[in-house]
Amino acid sequence: MIDGLIAGRIYGEPEQRRGKGDSPFVLAKVRATTHEGETLFVNVIAFDDAPRAALSALRDADSVAIAGSLIPKVWTDKQGNTKPALDLIAHRVLPVDANAND
């Protein structure tokens, strides 16, 4: 895994779920833009209390920066094109206040 920081906007609503042994976790998708202007969707999962709570408080299109362990992947779309993807295990979630400079 790679330690990384991603920034973007929440895509859809974060989902609270329970795993084995009834342990809670939160899933979210973040839409990030690469420096080439391409959109990349990052699948985020949070197991620890603080990142779970922070992700759960966010809504669709909220700005966010998330630090954690990145796992690069590749997937193939219906047309047979390969696309990059990232999974991130969140260690820290930093909501970004879009009105901070107002």
What's residue 83's pLDDT? 83
pLDDT digits (tens, 9 = 90+) for 10-51: 999 999 999 989 999 999 999 999 889 988 899 999 999 999
Does the structure show a pLDDT above 60 at 102?
Answer: no
What's residue 98's pLDDT? 61
Residues 46 and 55 sit within 8 Å (Cβ to Cβ) = yes
Strand, helix or coil for residue 79: coil
Q: Is 46 exposed, middle or buried (0-12, 13-18, 19+ CB in 10 A)?
A: buried
CB half-sphere exposure, 68, CA atoms < 13 A: 26
Please report the domains of the chain, with CATH numbers, ordered by start residue: 2-95 (2.40.50.140)
pLDDT digits (tens, 9 = 90+) for 63-97: 999 999 999 999 899 999 998 889 999 999 998 87
Strand, helix or coil for residue 102: coil
What's residue 100's pLDDT? 53
